Amino acid sequence: MKTYLRLLSFAQPFPGFLVPYILLVVPAVVFGAVNFTLVIPLLNVLFNTFGDAAINEPPVFHLSIAYVKDLFDYWFLTIVRTEGKQQALLFVCVVIGISVFLANLFRYLAQRVLTRLRVWIVYRLRKSVFEKITSMHLGFFYKRQKGDLMSILSNDTQEIENSVVSTLQVFFREPLVIIVYFIILFMMSVKLTLFTLFFFPVSGLIIGAISKRLKKTADKSQQVLGTILSQAEEAIGGIRIIKGFVVKWFINSKFEKQNSSYRQISKSFINRRELASPVSEFLGVFVVIILIVYGGSLVLTNHSELTASEFITYIVLYSQILPPAKNISNSITTLQRGLAAADRLFQLLDTPTAVQDSTDAAEVTSFNHAIEYCNVDFAYNDKLVLKKINLRIEKGKMIALVGQSGSGKSTLADLLPRFYDLTSGEIRIDGTDIRKIKKSSLRRLMGIVTQEAILFNDTIYNNIVFGLEGVSEDDVHRAARIANAHDFIIQTEAGYQTVVGDRGMRLSGGQRQRISIARAVLRNPPILILDEATSALDTESERLVQEAILNLMKNRTSLVIAHRLSTIQYADEIIVLQQGEIIERGNHPNLIAANGAYRKLHDIQGFS
């Protein structure tokens, strides 16, 4: 119930939906019930069971159901006396037609309100999930499978819509239908209605026992589905390797294992869920049978306050309680899968964001003096990755980070834009601890070019602009020229409006890198973080990209993660990292002369 109520909180402003829905659904239910009460006068006409009934005066107006009934009886009996039975039959049919029209009109209008509510909840859920995902720190994505996150955003949200939000109509409308019909049934016969009420708790207990077992199965089903999506995403992304290593059988067998598990779980869930429908229907019909036997015997022995036509109408009205009662029981069972999906979704939404702005965080708009790492430690999963890092980067200087894989180069660079928060120590920009600076303004000071050029399935132009506002076309072209990208861009099929494809796959590696460099140029940041962008390129592409990087670095402060030492020989200072510690530092000639770790790395790469 707590999860369901939390889902409803996404319907805010709730009264804006609930009030108009109630105002529309109440007349829809009332007119629907009226249609069946009109069976009594129809039967009276057909069976000629009026007796001595007569109403000579129209009833005095008062706001109640009794007034409406008395007014109808007055006009009906008057028509019977003055116009005959056929006219009375026509009168009843006209009233039924009007009542049916109004019931369906109000039902349709109420459904429109509920549809607005349904799509609004799903819209807000997806929006919240996506904003949560994009706000999480990088470490979060190393712990969670991408397929699992995609499953929450797509499948879990869809499941919530199908099995939770869709039940809103059932839980709002069907109880009202049952209440209205029971009011009419009590007005007709208190004795019979009290007799039927005994069976409702029994049905509820049986359906509840079935529903209770569905929740655990549904939760496991959603988890397995997330794993299936993750495996599919990995297979599609790595299809070149799968084919190259001829391991399709291995990937298929892994997928088959999870797919088979999902099949078994889904079969078990569906079988249990479908059990609720025949059980509730059987229980409902069983009650009707008992009601006919018990109530019919009272009518036949003249111990009932109902006439035969009224008893038939009573049975018809009572039978109309069965569909909404069945809908409620079915919805309770169907709801379990949606609640399991909602639990997974809320678990994501409730995950704390590790890197947050402090309450006193300030805006910064410029970088003027220096970046300082002061006794910086960083631990990941209780493993110390960086130890007592002390580093000063003066404005306009180029600092290179070198070291073997896993030495902590990328982590040291990632701490500067607060992709992670350090474990101890401080990082300062112009003397201010970066934790006292708003993340957004801190990151606007920086341009980042990674080893893997990340492009989005959009035009080249939009990939360069990438969210910047107030940018002219000339600015974009200038940035592309600095990045050595303009010439190849204008030769593509649509120039700057060419769509690059998923992750930029329609372009070569060197072209993707130059566009990502143009993106950084356009932002014109005072600080650059460069994860060696040329390590995976051919010679010609490397030359063009390296030239673009040198253009980008002019008059900027640069922190360069170096994989090829030939690219950082002119760095102002080279920092050599080993197992998270600075073991050497200095410029290229001094480090070569020191004949230490840097010299060994240099010789391994074959430079003289």
pLDDT tens track for 126-159: 888 888 888 887 777 777 777 778 878 887 888 8
- The DSSP element (H or E) to which 204 belongs, if any, is helix 199-237
Let me know whether 143 and 177 are in one domain: yes
Q: Is residue 424 domain-resident? A: yes
Q: Specify the residue for token string 């369901």.
A: 4
Q: What is the pLDDT of residue 430?
A: 92
| Interatomic CA distance for residues 69 and 77, integer angstroms | 12
Class of residue 184 by CB neighbours under 10 A (exposed 0-12, middle 13-18, buried 19+): buried
C-beta contacts of 91-100 below 8 A and 24+ residues apart: 92/38, 92/41, 92/42, 92/45, 95/38, 96/35, 96/38, 99/31, 99/34, 99/35, 99/38, 100/31, 100/35
Concatenated DSSP letters of 228-257 = HHHHHHHHHHTHHHHHHTT-HHHHHHHHHH
Q: What is the pTM of this model?
A: 0.69
Q: For the segment 148-196, what is each residue's pLDDT rounded down to a tens digit? A: 788 788 878 888 877 776 677 777 778 888 888 888 788 878 888 887 7
Q: For the segment 271-307, what is each residue's pLDDT rounded down to a tens digit? A: 766 666 677 667 767 777 777 787 788 777 777 777 7
| Interatomic CA distance for residues 265 and 111, integer angstroms | 34
The total of other beta-carbon atoms located within 10 Å of residue 550's CB is: 11
Q: For the segment 393-451, what is each residue's pLDDT rounded down to a tens digit? A: 999 898 999 888 888 888 899 899 888 888 899 999 999 999 999 988 898 898 888 77
Let me know whether 436 and 511 are in one domain: yes
Residues for the chain: how many in total? 608
Let me know whether 397 and 515 are in one domain: yes
Nearest to 347 by CA among 256, 172, 223, 236: 223
Give the confidence band of 214 by pLDDT, cuts at 50, 70, 90. low
Let me know whether 344 and 374 are in one domain: no
Among 145-159, 191-205, 333-347, 467-481, the range with the most confident prediction by mean pLDDT is 467-481
Let me know whether 179 and 102 are in one domain: yes
Boundary residue ending a domain (299, 317, 349)? 349
Q: Residues of the chain with pLDDT > 90: what percent? A: 9
Q: What is the pLDDT of residue 392?
A: 92
Q: Is residue 439 domain-resident? A: yes
Among 445-454, 538-547, 592-601, the range with the most confident prediction by mean pLDDT is 592-601
Q: What is the pLDDT of residue 105?
A: 92
Q: Is residue 356 domain-resident? A: no
Let me know whether 240 and 324 are in one domain: yes
Q: Is residue 364 domain-resident? A: no
| Interatomic CA distance for residues 85 and 93, integer angstroms | 12
Q: Is residue 218 domain-resident? A: yes
CATH number reported for the structural domain that contains residue 400 in this entry:
3.40.50.300
Q: Is 153 helix (H, G, I), strand (E, B) or coil?
A: helix
Let me know whether 342 and 380 are in one domain: no
Q: Which residues constitute the domain of residue 202?
A: 2-349
Class of residue 576 by CB neighbours under 10 A (exposed 0-12, middle 13-18, buried 19+): buried
pLDDT at 608 over 50: no
The total of structural domains in the chain comes to 2
Q: What is the pLDDT of residue 375?
A: 93
Token pair of 508 as six digits: 């070569």
| Interatomic CA distance for residues 340 and 346, integer angstroms | 10
Q: For the segment 349-372, what is each residue's pLDDT rounded down to a tens digit? A: 888 887 888 888 889 888 999 999
Q: What is the pLDDT of residue 118?
A: 81
SS (H, E, C) 412-424: HHHHCCCCCCCCE
Q: Is residue 45 domain-resident? A: yes
Nearest to 530 by CA among 571, 489, 486: 571
Token pair of 245 as six digits: 């290593």
The torsion angles phi and psi of 508, rounded to 5 degrees, stand at -75, 170
Let me know whether 421 and 329 are in one domain: no
Peptide bond into 13 cis (omega under 30): yes
Let me know whether 290 and 413 are in one domain: no
Give the confidence band of 541 by pLDDT, cuts at 50, 70, 90. low
- The DSSP element (H or E) to which 588 belongs, if any, is helix 588-594
Let me know whether 339 and 403 are in one domain: no
Let me know whether 598 and 451 are in one domain: yes
Q: Is residue 494 domain-resident? A: yes
Q: What is the average pLDDT value for the chain, to the nearest integer?
A: 79
| Interatomic CA distance for residues 474 and 502, integer angstroms | 26
Contacts of 606 (CB under 8 A, 6+ apart): none
Nearest to 160 by CA among 374, 341, 307, 292: 341
CATH number reported for the structural domain that contains residue 187 in this entry:
1.20.1560.10
Q: Is residue 14 domain-resident? A: yes
| Interatomic CA distance for residues 130 and 398, integer angstroms | 37
Q: Indicate the range of 197-206, 220-229, 508-517 predicted with least confidence.
A: 197-206
Let me know whether 422 and 332 are in one domain: no
| Interatomic CA distance for residues 356 and 335, integer angstroms | 35
Nearest to 535 by CA among 432, 449, 464: 449
- Segment 500-526 mean pLDDT: 84
Q: What is the pLDDT of residue 53?
A: 52
| CA atoms within a 13 Å half-sphere pointing along the CA-CB vector of 35 | 15
The total of other beta-carbon atoms located within 10 Å of residue 575's CB is: 24
Nearest to 422 by CA among 133, 145, 135, 139: 139
C-beta contacts of 276-281 below 8 A and 24+ residues apart: 276/207, 276/210, 276/211, 276/329, 276/330, 276/332, 276/333, 277/326, 277/329, 277/330, 279/206, 279/207, 279/210, 279/329, 280/203, 280/207, 280/325, 280/326, 280/329, 280/330, 281/322, 281/326
Q: Is 402 helix (H, G, I), strand (E, B) or coil?
A: strand
Question: Alpha helices of 83-197 — where are they, by DSSP H?
Answer: 85-135, 138-143, 146-151, 157-160, 167-188, 190-197
pLDDT at 381 over 90: no
